[in-house]
Structure formats: C-alpha cells, structure tokens
Amino acid sequence: MDAFLNLAHGFATALSPQGLLFTFVGVTVGTLIGVLPGLGPSATLGLLLPLTFGMNPTFAIAMLAGIYYGAEYGGSTTSILLNLPGEAGSVVTCLDGHLMAQKGRAGAALGMAAFASFIAGTVGLVLFTFMAQPLARWSLSFGPPEYAMLMLLGLTAAASLSRDKLKGMIMCALGLLLRTIGTDAVSGTARFTFGSPNLLGGLSFIPVIMGLFAIGEILAELAQGEGETPGAVRVTSSYRLRDLLPTLEDWCHSIWAIIRGTLIGFFMGTLPGSGAAVASFLSYSAEKAVGRRRNQLGTGIIEGVAAPESANNAVTAGAMIPLFSFGIPGTPTTAILAGALMMYGLQPGPRLFTEHPDFMWAVIATMYIGNVMLLVLNLPLIGLWVQLLRVPLHLLAPIVLTVTVIGAYSVNNNLFDVWVLLLFGLIGYLAKTYRYPVAPLVLGLIIGEKLEQSVRRSLLMSLGDPRIFVSSPISLTLFSLALLAIALNAGGAVRRYLAARGAATAS
Amino acid sequence: MNKQRVIEGSIVTALGLTTVGLSRGYTYMDRYTPGPGLFPLWLGVLLTVFGAIVLLTGLASPGERPKAATLRPGDLVPLAVLALLVAGMELLGALVSIAVFNMILVRLLGRRTSWPAAAVVGIGVSIGCYLIFERLLGVPLPKGLLGI
C-alpha cells in the first residue's frame, strides 16, 4: 500500500512539464542512439553527464535512464530492416526480424518489437517497484561458479540456435577465443597481441558485430543482385498504420513469448554483468525449446522478434535492482547512472529509498511514462522506417557501409577499429557463404571476459578443484541444463549425419 | 569425401592446435591460481576437437553437398573500395573520403547512375555524416591533410 502511495506521489512530479520534457528528450535520444550502430547508451551517457550538472537530480536521472531503455527500443529497427544490430541486445532480433522484413512484414516486426518492448519494460518496472528487496536477496546467491554455469548455458543455447550445431559450437569457441586477445585483467599478461599496442585493450565488440552482421549481409545481398531493393524485400504499398502493425494472429503467437522473455530478461537483469545479449539469447532459446512454433524459429516468425525484444527491455528494469538495492551497477550504463547519482550527492544503495523517497519514486514514475512515450514515438515511425526498404540497394549499401565505418571509428576514435570492422566484414561474408552462424560468435565475444573471470575466481576459491561448478543447487541446475543442451545438440547432429549418409547410400 | 568440409575441418583444427601451442607460452596455473594460459588453452583443445570432428565427417562423407558454396572474388569489390576509403581517411580526412567512396560505389553498383548523380549522392552523404555525427552527436571525425 505504501508503494502505491509513494508511486502516486512520484507521478505528480513526473507529470510536471519539466518531468515530461526531460523524459521525452531522454527516450528520443536513446532511440536515435539505439538505431545508430556504434554509439551505445553508455558512451552517450558519458557524453551527456557533464551537461546535467546543475540540473534537478530527478529530471537528470530520468533523462539519463530514458536514454538507457530508449536505446534498447531503437536497437531493433536496424536489426529488422538491415540485419545490422544497433545494440548487443538486438543481435538475436536479426535472426527472425530481418527475414520477416525480407518477406514483406517489416512493419509487423517493427510493431511487435515496439509493443513487446513496451509490455516488458512496463511489467519489469512493476516487478522492480514491488519485488526489489526479495529479488535483491536472490541475486546475492549468485557467486562466480553460478555465473560461470549461467554463461555456459547461454553459450550452449546460442549454439543450439544454429541448424548445424557443431558449427554453432565452433563459432562460440571462436568468439570466446577472440575475447582473450589483449591484456589479461588479472595477471597483466598480453595475450595474442603479437606486439601490437592496438590489441592490448582487446577487440572492441562493436566493430566486430557490425562487420559480421552488417557488412557481411550487405556483401551477400550485393552478390545476389545489383541494384535491387535489399534482399528482394516486398514492401507493402499500403501506408495505413493498421497494415503495418502486428495482426491478431501475430499477437496470439507472441503473447507467451513476451511473457517468457519478460521474466527471463528481468531476472537476468538483476544479475550484475549478465547483460541484455545473454538475456535475449536465453529468451530466444527458451522459445526454441517450448514455443508452439519452435520448429519454425529462424525462418522469420513473429515470436523470433517478440522473445528477444521483450527480454532486452526487461533487463533494463532488472538492472536497476542491484544498482538501487546494493549500489552495485551491473552494466556500464548503470555504472554511469551510479556516477550521476554520486555527482548529486546521492549514494546508490538501499538507503536511497528511505532517505530520498521523493527522488526515487519520481524516477520510477518517469520510467513508466518513458515507456509509454517510446511506444507513442516509435509506432508512427514504423511507416517511415519501412520506406527505407524502398531505397535501391546501390544507394542504400554505400550509406550503410559509411555509417558502420563511422560507428566503428566512434568507439575509440581510432582507425584500428575500422580495420577490425573490415576484417570481420570479410569473415562475416565468408561465414554467410559457407553457412557458419555468426550469432554464437558474437555472444562468445560479449560474455567471454565474464565467463573467464568467473571460471578463474571459482577455481581460486576451490584451490583448483573443478567440482565447485556443481557444488551448489543453482550451479548444478544450470550445469545440468547446459549438459542437456549439448547432448541434444550432439544427438541431433549425429542423427542428421546418419540420415545424410543413408540418403546418399540409397541414391 | 566432402572436400569443402575437409578444408573447413582442417582450418579449424589448425587454428585449435595453434591456439594450444601459443597458450603454452602463458602461465597455466600458479599453485592454486589459474593463470592467463588456462582459458585459451582449453578453448584451443575444444577447437581442435570440433575441427577434427568436421574433418573426419568430411572424409567419411559420401560426396559433396548438392549446393556447395562458392566464393566469387568479384563479390568483394565493395569491401576493397571500403578499404580504400579507410586508407584515405587519414590522408584526405573522413568527409572527403566518404564523398569519394559513396560516389565510386554508387556508380559501380548502379550502372545506370551517371557520374554527376553519383557525385551528388557522395557529397550529400558526406554532409549528412558531418551534421549528424560531428555536429549533433559530437563524434570528432578524422581530419586529413586538408583539415576538413
């Protein structure tokens, strides 16, 4: 009851003209950042943080938080239209979203991404409002062994998304290996740098992702036919909003995917360091395991958009729990939010609710309003985004390639990252040609550091005994699920191989 | 024998073995403390095993896949042009390179597009990048010898 009253009081502040303005600015900038590859919400928050000095803390945090969850909304747009993930959490959306666009259903995909994000973001906020404390206690039970097994489960899930599971596992391992390039955080040893100072910091994953997805895809589409509209997309000639939105049938197919994605994303968000990418992969994999049309995932169905998009938005709400309950930022973006709080003399942690309740509940209220704004902002833009597909490929491809180059450069203001982009563009094209899935490689690259740290810390805790990874109920459960996934993958691969041999022998 | 699969398996196996070899140059375990060599060494082992499976299944396979993939070097021309853009960025600056790159690629890909029209597109994209990235988002683009 107290929470309702506090929230109502918070809405009174959030609905003020200033509150609405700053929330709107935040979600708009966030959406733009999400659409543009290369610039992430953490970099943008870092750029804008000094500008908020002197502002009302409530409205400043509302704006910054709006950028955070707005970016997850925007990241799906280029994933669907151009197979170019704007954010790490939108990588999985490419799998079915872009195929839907190629089938002429870009509007439905974009619409479902917006609605799924809205529902997940709002439900996540409700869960945050009323369940912050018990969930915070739950997240404390995750130590290094549990994190290691969780990451392993995420990787096996990513490998299982591929048609050829063995190729998926190869790409996972390759992604993890790429992540080891650079200076080891524990010992300071330079690994696989071959004397290059540019590699001491490791590979930035933004240029790698853009190279693998965007450049690889564009090269493949250019190879199919010059001058055609991208991927032979059939763009509807109708401009009516209702023709660009998900149908009732789409909603029937997606509702459970949204529910599962929201819960998975929210709980993943409460675990510091897990991130939107892992959550979206796990949500997609859960859909592949239990969804009604699981056999059609990967062919361009609406659930393939709803599941990851709901997960990556629910993560933003879940990530607020470690920040506000313990003062532990779980992601680079929430770390900057924590910095902003300290800049205003507000110590992130459990006392924020008791010592500054007006501030906290007003910020929560602005996040509810921000989610509504994002839906209202993004839906009318769907028609505009879909028209992008009418642009002939010989005009669109150079522009997209240019944007990826600038995006890669903007990560560290270093041309070396652009060369990395080109190298992985070539690898992405080769992967597409020889049918190697790139999504598992990307996930390996994103979570590799966290996985290695968790493994090494666990072994340090156990004095080198690997049984620590199955010593707690949580880690044992996660390990069992990962093992089950590997066994199912291996079994499927063997069955396919034997079937192919049988067919070849019979012919 | 599936030649493509044999080649793929050989590459992955070679990569795995190379990784194992290089990882042995880093500390594996320092008493009870896992060293920087532990993780990459086991990844190398995994890649070697996976590559060997692909190689052996390729050798045991009855024949090529009906639609074996083929690589056409001509498909990489846009990437080569892009590489020229990047190489030119430090010398000519980002905006000039972007204009030139877009002009060349638009003309190469759209054969019915004239050079003047391609030039207009190139200049337009360059101006757009300046306004969005440098002015609006504050991303400092490389300035070449011309200072633009």
pLDDT tens digit string along B39-59? 999 999 999 999 999 898 888
Q: Do A497 and B57 touch (CB under 8 A)?
A: yes
Query: Residues A153-178: what's their mean pLDDT?
Result: 85
Using 50, 70 and 90 to split pLDDT, how confident is the model at A229?
A: very low
pLDDT at A171: 93
Q: How far is B147 from chain A (nearest CA, A)?
A: 17
What does the mean pLDDT of chain B come to? 85
Beta carbons within 8 Å of B117's beta carbon, 6+ residues apart: B106
pLDDT at A175: 93
Q: What would the two tokens of residue B146 be?
A: 């011309």
- Is A215 within 8 Å of chain B by CB? yes
Does A62 map to a domain?
A: yes
- Decide: B145 and B95 in contact? Cβ < 8 Å: no
What does the mean pLDDT of chain A come to? 82
Residues of chain A with C-beta less than 8 angstroms from the C-beta of B60:
501
Does A273 map to a domain?
A: yes
Q: What would the two tokens of residue A153 be?
A: 């489960």
Does A421 map to a domain?
A: yes
Distance of alpha carbon B85 from the chain centroid: 15
pLDDT at B70 over 60: yes
- Is A71 within 8 Å of chain B by CB? no
* CA–CA dist B69, B104 (Å, integer): 29
pLDDT at B39: 93
Q: Of A115-119, A451-455, B129-133, which gets the smallest average pLDDT?
A: B129-133
- Decide: A275 and A331 in contact? Cβ < 8 Å: yes
A184 → chain B, closest CA residue: B36
- Is B63 within 8 Å of chain A by CB? yes
pLDDT at B41: 95
Q: Do B36 and A189 touch (CB under 8 A)?
A: yes
Does A77 map to a domain?
A: yes
Query: Residues B84-92: what's their mean pLDDT?
Result: 84
pLDDT at A328 over 80: no
- Is A25 within 8 Å of chain B by CB? no
Q: Do A464 and B86 touch (CB under 8 A)?
A: no
Query: Residues A241-250: what's their mean pLDDT?
Result: 76
- Decide: A60 and A48 in contact? Cβ < 8 Å: no
Give me the residue spans of the domains in chain B: 3-60, 73-136
* CA–CA dist A379, A439 (Å, integer): 28
Are β-strands B29-30 and A190-191 bridged in parallel, bridged antiparallel, or unpaired?
A: unpaired
pLDDT at B37 over 90: yes
Query: Amino acid letter at A483?
Result: L
* Residues facing A183 on adjacent strands: A190
Q: How far is B66 from chain A (nearest CA, A)?
A: 11
| Interval A195-219: pLDDT, tens | 888 899 888 877 888 888 778 877 8
Look up the domain containing A205 and give its range: 2-501
Are β-strands B29-30 and B33-34 bridged in parallel, bridged antiparallel, or unpaired?
A: antiparallel
Does A73 map to a domain?
A: yes
Does A507 map to a domain?
A: no
The candidate with the shortest Cα–Cα distance to B100, out of B81, B128, B114, is B81
Query: Residues A31-41: what's their mean pLDDT?
Result: 70
* CA–CA dist A296, A294 (Å, integer): 5
Using 50, 70 and 90 to split pLDDT, how confident is the model at A240?
A: low
Burial zone of B145 (CB within 10 Å; 0-12 exposed, 13-18 middle, 19+ buried): exposed
pLDDT at A412 over 50: yes
Residues of chain A with C-beta less than 8 angstroms from the C-beta of B71:
430, 433
Number of helices and strands (H, E) in chain B?
A: 5, 2
Q: Which of B8, B47, B112 sits opposite A173 (nearest CB)?
A: B47
Query: Residues A83-103: what's their mean pLDDT?
Result: 84
User: Domains in chain A: how many in total?
Assistant: 1
pLDDT at A233: 44
pLDDT at A133 over 80: no
Counting one residue from chain A and one from chain B, the pairs whose CB atoms sit within 8 A come to 170
Using 50, 70 and 90 to split pLDDT, how confident is the model at B17?
A: very high
Pick the more confident residue, A122 or A324.
A122
Q: What would the two tokens of residue A5 be?
A: 């009253």
- Is B119 within 8 Å of chain A by CB? no
Does A261 map to a domain?
A: yes
| Interval B92-122: pLDDT, tens | 888 888 999 899 888 888 767 888 988 999 9
Q: Do B78 and A459 touch (CB under 8 A)?
A: no
* Residues facing B29 on adjacent strands: B34
Does A450 map to a domain?
A: yes
Site from B79, B127, B131, B133 to mutate, A interface, most A CB atoms within 10 angstroms? B79
What are the C-alpha distances in Å from A96 to residues A220, A378, A419, A497, B61? 17, 20, 29, 26, 31
* Residues facing A190 on adjacent strands: A183
SS3 label, residue A105:
coil
Tell me the range of A47-56, A320-329, A417-426, B14-23 where mean pLDDT is highest: B14-23
- Is B110 within 8 Å of chain A by CB? yes
pLDDT at A227: 43
Q: Do B39 and A456 touch (CB under 8 A)?
A: yes
Q: How far is B34 from chain A (nearest CA, A)?
A: 6
pLDDT at A264: 92
- Is B92 within 8 Å of chain A by CB? no
